[in-house]
Structure 1
Amino acid sequence: MLANRLKGTLVHSGSHQLGQVARGLGLDDTCTQAMQEVFRTMAASWHDLPASGNPAWPSDVCDDHSPYELSMTIEDSGPQLRVLVEPMDRPASLSANRIASLRLHEVLRRNYGINLDRLHALENLLMPEEARGHFVAWYSASIGKGEALDFKAYFNLGCLGRERAPKLAEEAFRRIGFHKVWPTVVEMMERRGGGQDELCYFALDLSHRSDARAKLYFRHHRATAEFVDEFCGVARHYEPGIVTDFCRKMGGGSEGPYCSKGLVTCFNFTDPSDSRPKAVTAYFPVSHYARNDSVIQERISSYLKEQSLDTRPYLGAIEACAQRSLQVGTGIHTYAAVRWMEKRPRVTVYFSPETYGRLPASANPYHTPSLPMEMEQDESATVLH
């Protein structure tokens, strides 16, 4: 565990932490250096921001407004390391961040050969000059052993107001050739009605592969585990009960409704001729449903063991991420996610660098309406070694 918060610029501390996590996952020097280089590229627009003080821009990437997030995926084939970044410019504003993002497109194409065809088709739709809300665009890079770098772009469907998100999503699918999916999406949105299942993000693989994904994200307000499980059933590769079990394990036994922060689902569309998504990932905001990060670590470790997945990469990653005791509070872990493919799970854990501090107590209520007091009292904290 790092004894003190890293000093210097935010990019320097982020690159150092990324290297620590990569080594914790067991990645070799080639993978580590590739990720550090791409992080510095994606974060170049805020390269001289200090790794302390107050945020120049209240980024929505993490609860503490850090403009980047680390994550790692565990599956049978081995771990994968990811980093998500929000480009920013100065003076900080949505308009400035939009311009920084547009510049980054060409840098990534020139340096890494990303596919800009679909991105260009959506720029004036999902990155409008009059954008409002929490962000315009985010970008991620990932790598695993023996893998090439993989890139994604994420857009805010609320950039013109929450009420216009469905129209933006429908047009985005149309522009990239997915003409058949919208009736399925409409049916999904109408299951509970009242905007309780909110369209929030649209994402693209920036790849030249024929199966490059378009991804649609929902946030489910005050939903139960059972409802989210049923919602996930629209995906072709999904087994009923997976999400209910995952939510129960991540929520300390609670099956909701989850009222502190809504769960998120992401549907992957790869075949323009198919009206249904191929796969789905469910995200549980673990930092909002536990007393501290030590409790979260125990829950994630237990779930990995139950699924016969190696816990060592995760434990190595959390040790590299933690710059304080896990028992102090929550905020190091942000989400845990599960995706089920070919009868096996893929688990992803997301970490905040806590650049601007851990979650305040008021932003981290432990209880959900269905979580009894005795369950909290029975939680056993574990110590990170």
Structure 2
Amino acid sequence: MNSSALSGYAFDLERSTGVGPRTSTLREHLTGQLQRLLDAADVTCSWASDAVRLLPALLGPVAGRPLGAGPPSPSFVSDDHSPAELSVSFASDGVPTVRVLVEPGCGARTVADSGRAGLRALHRMASCWNVDAEPVARVKDLFLPAAARGPFSLWCALDLRRSGPPGVKVYLNPEAHSGDRAAEVVEEALTRFGFGPAWPALTARAASWCPDRGRLLFFALDLGHWQEPRVKLYIAHQGFSVEEAEAVAGLLPGGTPQRVGDFCRTVGGGARRFDRLPLVSCLSFTRRDRERPSGHTLHVPVRDYARDDCVARDRAAAVLGAHGGGGTALLDKALAAMTPRRLSDGVGLISYVSLARSTAGPPRVTVYLSPEAYAIHPPHDLPRDTALGEGA
């Protein structure tokens, strides 16, 4: 879940350090990381093994491309243009899930071609796990037009669990027609899924930032095997303060905004305002409430507010401890599964840390991990215990 391309953030490949064996292919790099991450989290069911085998097919022809040849296209899934991202989600019940996000159309000639490749990958997953892809077809004209624009078209993700088939997620671009039409597209999409009142209610309650100070990043759908499928809207908040993030968190009925603020302060290292990479909110809607969100997630781009991944790891461990899920040992196993490098030698392996809250379940902390297939960003030039941000 990367907002770099949409927020003006540029990853400096010229300043990056070297990566692992240059003879390996994208397929070998990503499937190796995914398998090790699944092993670390003890997600060893047959469905997870199927996901590892299917991953190269989802990536298409670029899967066999040597890493030494560089990124096949400027994919914005990860900062170094790796067309994939992995993450581990920790719940207070102690049962983790592993997620893999991919851009199936990376390397495509046009944005529209990328979208068509994404649809083919989605249908492949639907066939493998008996998933109904009809919801995407319902909004195809809104998000996958013939002359699609923007930095991406369609991303797919798999939630891999210790038992049961994976949940499938699809991420679509609200600016596929143009940035000026994003709000119109989102409102129409919400209406088609039965959430017609949600958009005007949201803009009325959040008039100070939505949509004027909130860029609409992703419109996302849960497909297949979910207890309660969600329609989700991701919004980037450029220049938000912690207090403003708390105000957005207050849109969740019965929520605890102060807890979200504490989370934001910890992961952001005390930054009072996020003027570099923006905070990102995800508001999710379910059939239980057609107007108000049933879930809220705050994503903090820790890699832009910490000197290195050692600092980012310590902040992630702190919030894991604060939210009752433990998980510090698994966090360290997950980081070791991703890379053999020292955490202090780079920044960006841990890209985001998020806190998800729902009206129907316990909170979850998720740590997002970059494959670093093509580059490792050097540490920021500041003391290790200092955040990047106003007042740091």
**CA apart distance, 1:360:** 5.8
Equivalent residues of 1:25, 1:314 under 8 A apart: no
Structure 1 residues 249 and 200, CA gap change in structure 2 (3 angstroms): same
Indicate the residue corresponding to 1:24 in structure 2: 40
Name which of 160, 171, 179 aligns with 1:162: 179
Counterpart secondary structure, 2:109? coil
Indicate the residue corresponding to 1:321 in structure 2: 338
**CA apart distance, 1:141:** 0.3
Residues 143-222 of structure 1 correspond to what in structure 2 (within 5 A)? 143-192=160-209, 195-207=212-224, 211-222=228-239
Give 5+ residue unaligned stretches, structure 2: 1-18
Equivalent residues of 2:112, 2:144 under 8 A apart: no
Counterpart secondary structure, 1:125? helix
2:17 maps to 1:8: no
Name the stretch that deviates more: 288-297 or 80-89.
80-89
Residues 1-385 of structure 1 correspond to what in structure 2 (within 5 A)? 4-5=20-21, 7-28=23-44, 30=46, 32-77=48-93, 78-88=95-105, 92-192=109-209, 195-207=212-224, 211-254=228-271, 256-271=272-287, 274-310=290-326, 311-341=328-358, 344-359=362-377, 367-371=388-392
Indicate the residue corresponding to 2:9 in structure 1: none
Equivalent residues of 1:7, 1:13 under 8 A apart: no
Equivalent residues of 2:345, 2:378 under 8 A apart: no
Structure 1 residues 308 and 102, CA gap change in structure 2 (3 angstroms): closer
Name the stretch that deviates more: 313-322 or 268-277.
268-277
Instruction: Tell me the percent identity.
Output: 29
**CA apart distance, 1:187:** 2.1
Indicate the residue corresponding to 1:379 in structure 2: none
**CA apart distance, 1:307:** 2.5
| Distance in structure 2 (CA, Å) of the matches to 1:194 and 1:206 | 27
Q: Write the deviation string for residues 102-126 of structure 1: whole angstroms up to 9, x where unpaired.
A: 2223222222211122111111211
**CA apart distance, 1:237:** 5.0
| Distance in structure 2 (CA, Å) of the matches to 1:125 and 1:194 | 18
Alignment size in residue pairs: 368
Structure 1 residues 163 and 304, CA gap change in structure 2 (3 angstroms): same
Counterpart secondary structure, 1:101? helix
| Distance in structure 2 (CA, Å) of the matches to 1:237 and 1:7 | 53
Indicate the residue corresponding to 2:12 in structure 1: none
**CA apart distance, 1:362:** 8.0
Equivalent residues of 1:46, 1:87 under 8 A apart: no
TM-score of the pair, normalised by structure 2: 0.87
| Distance in structure 2 (CA, Å) of the matches to 1:252 and 1:210 | 35
**CA apart distance, 1:41:** 3.4
Name the stretch that deviates more: 282-291 or 43-52.
43-52
Q: Write the deviation string for residues 4-40 of structure 1: whole angstroms up to 9, x where unpaired.
A: 4474221222011101111112222535413312323
Give 5+ residue unaligned stretches, structure 1: 372-385
Q: Write the deviation string for residues 265-320 of structure 1: whole angstroms up to 9, x where unpaired.
A: 10110127521010101000010000000001111112212223222221110111
Structure 1 residues 82 and 132, CA gap change in structure 2 (3 angstroms): same
Structure 1 residues 210 and 286, CA gap change in structure 2 (3 angstroms): closer
Equivalent residues of 1:296, 1:333 under 8 A apart: yes
Indicate the residue corresponding to 1:381 in structure 2: none
Counterpart secondary structure, 1:154? strand
Supply the RMSD in Å over aligned alpha carbons. Answer: 2.4
Structure 1 residues 360 and 157, CA gap change in structure 2 (3 angstroms): farther
Structure 1 residues 65 and 190, CA gap change in structure 2 (3 angstroms): same
**CA apart distance, 1:45:** 4.5
Counterpart secondary structure, 1:107? helix
Equivalent residues of 1:89, 1:96 under 8 A apart: no
**CA apart distance, 1:366:** 5.1
Equivalent residues of 1:79, 1:313 under 8 A apart: no
Name the stretch that deviates more: 350-359 or 107-116.
107-116
Equivalent residues of 1:179, 1:272 under 8 A apart: no
TM-score of the pair, normalised by structure 1: 0.89
